[in-house]
């Protein structure tokens, strides 16, 4: 599966937010960082969830990023 440009930006934003804040970002945090609407980010996050790129916990917070894609982002 090939990631879209927006999916790559979202994964980077999530990773950077976790690194800086030691907790996962909200949809609004990601939207603010990328200058996009929350509904746009929500759409892409749902597509990423369907593709098993990310996982959410029972509270709807981002819980995990697929390790394969996280590593590819940092080493490309």
Q: What is the pLDDT of residues 18-47, one digit of tens each?
A: 889 988 888 999 999 999 999 999 999 999
Which domain covers residue 61, as residue numbers? 5-74
Distance, in Å, from the CA atom of 71 to the CA atom of 32, rounded to the nearest integer, reads: 24
Number of domains in the chain: 1
Provide the 8-state DSSP code for 52: T
Write down the pTM of the prediction: 0.80
Which CATH number characterizes residue 48's domain? 1.10.10.10
Q: What is the pLDDT of residues 44-59, one digit of tens each?
A: 999 988 888 888 877 7
Task: Decide if 34 contacts 41 (C-beta within 8 A).
Answer: yes
Distance, in Å, from the CA atom of 52 to the CA atom of 60, rounded to the nearest integer, reads: 15
């Amino acid at each position: 599966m090939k990631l879209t440009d927006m999916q790559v930006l979202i994964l980077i934003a999530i990773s950077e937010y976790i690194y800086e804040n030691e907790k996962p970002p909200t949809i609004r945090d990601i939207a603010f960082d990328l200058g996009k609407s929350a509904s746009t980010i929500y759409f892409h996050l749902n597509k990423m969830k369907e593709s098993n790129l990310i996982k959410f916990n029972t509270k709807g917070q981002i819980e995990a990023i697929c390790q394969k894609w996280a590593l590819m982002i940092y080493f490309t």
